[in-house]
Structure 1
């Protein structure tokens, strides 16, 4: 569980794109706080502290708003697609003991059996948990697992007080047999043939073909000379 991070927030009265740009130029982040039937409150958050806090998924912030403390869950974080700085944050009011539904990332650790491939089908699980006790991640071990092994959502170990919302039968991790190099080349050749792609001969293949043709040509010449005699 991630610690609650205390951040001093300022209420703001300016809205719109122009106001948001001015806030970002001052190394701050525009945000809105809502929930529990209250009117949305528009805030300005300190840039660096907010960036560090939101490195954790499902971060719960302890906001100091004009001397009043309010717990809030970061529900939606909008980032610049190129520079990745935070453009805007949606915050939802939460209270101690309150249950929330969140997506928690799944981390896979360990090495499966040799010549296997590990595929993660569900990288996140949706769970219900107390707002102040949200797990940072769930760990699934594939150590030594053989090909054909599957781990479903209902088999992932969850901390006490955390309830699975994702379908228990949903496939999380699949361990399959790795394809041999020969089989992979054959499958690739078949796919290229179906697509009408002609593979050019390599230098080695060309040399081998020429070497195979040379004796045959020599034999033909010898036969011709014998007949002329």
Structure 2
């Protein structure tokens, strides 16, 4: 897992007006906290941060007034329509420290023939990992699975040093049987007949 270096400026102005002014300069307001320290309000470069956040649980090497800190995203707010960054919460971490994070679940492989559907009951898994070795995602094979099959959290192989925090028996993926077309058509025909009888 690579570190992304970003310079952060400490800010002293708060409120919606100050935040709008920051975003007009293509920067993002944020707060950095953790390890019992007072929260530090910062301004971060918008484009660099946007690129960094494409990697889930990215490890940020922050330069705050000449002091270097490691942090990971805790909460990211985006504009619902335009998608630009509105605000970020970053939590301080240390090398070797264990943290609990959500990692994306990716499925690979083809289901058994029959037009069945794969449902992602959980899109992410909660895991405990070293702050500097957080996996970007976990990949699960669904090759050949048939309708009714499911994959539980405990069935997923995690990288070395990563422990499951999600309930071990939680269903992560399940295969749903393909919906038959004919029963639906028959139901429509019965409804039409019922309407005709009422008339």
- Structure 1 runs of 4+ aligned residues shifted over 6 Å read none
Q: Which residue of 2 aligns with 1:135?
A: 135
Q: Which residue of 2 aligns with 1:4?
A: 3
Q: Which residue of 1 aligns with 2:146?
A: 146
**Runs of 5+ unmatched residues, structure 1:** 200-229
TM-score, normalization by structure 2: 0.91
Tell me, in whole angstroms, the C-alpha distance in 2 between the residues paired with 1:39 and 1:173.
Answer: 41
- Which has the higher relative contact order, 1 or 2, with Cα contacts under 8 A spaced 6 or more apart? 2
Q: Offset of 1:120 from its aligned partner?
A: 1.4
TM-score, normalization by structure 1: 0.79
Which has the higher Rg, Structure 1 or Structure 2?
Answer: 1
Tell me, in whole angstroms, the C-alpha distance in 2 between the residues paired with 1:198 and 1:70.
Answer: 71
List aligned pairs for 1:73-222, cutoff 5 A: 73-115=72-114, 116-186=116-186, 189=188, 193=191
Q: Offset of 1:176 from its aligned partner?
A: 3.1
Q: Structure 1 residues 80, 198: closer, same or farther in 2, change over 3 A? A: farther
**Runs of 5+ unmatched residues, structure 2:** none
Q: Offset of 1:189 from its aligned partner?
A: 2.9
Instruction: Decide which structure has greater strand share.
Output: 2
Across the aligned residues of Structure 1 and Structure 2, the Cα RMSD in angstroms comes to 2.0
Instruction: Decide which structure has greater helix share.
Output: 1
Q: Offset of 1:150 from its aligned partner?
A: 1.4
Q: Offset of 1:119 from its aligned partner?
A: 1.4
